[in-house]
């Protein structure tokens, strides 16, 4: 794509995730910035990211970032905790002039909200093991007890649209049990897929446990970075794309978000 043709594309906020989970962030962005064009890419052909190597995640993130910029993105939201912990530094090094918003588990707000000093974190294996997550805990939750629970298998079921299956409920129950045993009073959802099954987590943890997620904070940060002079689109243009099944993405967006009239296409970054 030439610089001239690229300039003709309306500027947008580019958002990507390993799959469908980042739609929870996209929903918050659409509410916060209703007039801003949004472009979303689900890398479902390579999901889940949770057990991938840093090298793989960096390669995919750079490829997707370049693709979204070619499609008009002037601000990038990495709507994936795993990709943020493993690859956001490489993205910022590659495009230092591009505003980039990453997603991190809400350890800081959880530490401020806890009443008994015991915090649970539900996340992917890669996020729990990452140095970035350890830094978050050391920086914001020193003196608190943090129980980090890796949740392999959850993303795969959510990606298949299984949001209330017996298999999903069994995994939710299994991963919440250590947090109940530790008597946490605050739990962080450390994966953007997990808000879609928040009611199941709440049921398994108990109504008295506060659940923390970060979509609203991410949207507010993007709003601060988006230039006020950027042209708006009527009713806000929304384009969804995926490296996996177009039909699955369209069904998920319609069933979970009520988005029945959005453009959904195939992407090959």
Q: What is the dihedral of CA 58, 222, 248, 252, to 10 degrees?
A: 140
Question: Do residues 182 and 121 touch, judged by C-beta distance below 8 A?
Answer: no
- The annotation status of 49 as a binding-site residue, yes or no, is yes
Q: What is the CA radius of gyration of the chain?
A: 18
Q: How many CB atoms lie within 10 A of CB 255?
A: 12
- Has 81 been labeled as part of a binding site? yes
Determine which one of 80, 151, 176, 256 is catalytic. 80
Q: Collapsing DSSP states into helix, strand and coil, what is residue 240?
A: strand
CB within 8 A of 56, min separation 6: which ones?
none
For the chain, the straight-line distance linking the first and the last C-alpha, in angstroms and rounded, comes to 14
Can 151 be counted among the known catalytic residues? no
Sequence-separated (6 or more) residues with CB below 8 Å from residue 258: none
Instruction: Answer whether 10's CB lies under 8 Å from 237's CB.
Output: yes
- Catalytic entry in 151, 176, 191, 256: 191
Q: Where are the alpha helices (DSSP H) in 71-165?
A: 81-94, 107-113, 125-129, 131-140, 154-159
Q: Name the token pair of 28.
A: 């918050």
Hunting for tokens 């994966």 — which residue is that?
191
192 is in an annotated binding site: yes
Tokens describing residue 21: 């989970």
Is 58 annotated in a binding site? The answer is no
Answer yes or no: 191 catalytic.
yes
- Pick out the residues of the known binding site: 17-18, 49-50, 81-82, 192-193
- The catalytic residues are 80, 191
Binding site as annotated, residues for substrate: 17-18, 49-50, 81-82, 192-193
């Amino acid at each position: 794509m030439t610089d001239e043709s690229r300039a003709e594309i309306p500027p947008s906020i580019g958002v990507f995730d390993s799959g469908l989970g980042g739609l929870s962030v996209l929903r918050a962005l659409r509410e916060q910035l209703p007039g801003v064009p949004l472009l979303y890419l689900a890398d479902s052909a390579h999901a889940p990211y949770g057990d991938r190597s840093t090298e793989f995640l960096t390669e995919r993130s750079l490829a997707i970032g370049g693709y979204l910029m070619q499609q008009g993105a002037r601000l990038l939201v990495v709507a994936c905790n795993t990709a943020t912990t493993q690859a956001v530094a490489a993205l910022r090094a590659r495009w230092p002039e591009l505003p980039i918003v990453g997603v991190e588990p809400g350890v800081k707000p959880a530490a401020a909200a806890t009443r008994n000093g015991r915090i649970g974190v539900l996340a992917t294996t890669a996020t729990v093991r990452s140095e970035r997550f350890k830094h978050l805990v050391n920086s914001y939750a020193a003196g608190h007890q943090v129980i980090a629970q890796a949740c392999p298998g959850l993303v795969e079921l959510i990606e298949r649209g299984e949001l209330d299956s017996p298999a999903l409920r069994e995994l939710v129950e299994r991963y919440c049990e250590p947090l109940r045993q530790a008597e946490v009073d605050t739990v962080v959802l450390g994966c953007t897929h997990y808000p879609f099954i928040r009611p199941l987590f709440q049921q398994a943890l108990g109504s008295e446990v506060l659940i923390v997620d970060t979509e609203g904070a991410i949207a507010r940060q993007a709003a601060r970075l988006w230039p006020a002079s950027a042209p708006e689109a009527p009713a806000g243009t929304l384009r969804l794309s995926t490296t996996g099944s177009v039909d699955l993405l369209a069904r998920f967006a319609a069933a979970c978000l009520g988005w029945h009239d959005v453009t959904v296409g195939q992407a090959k970054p």
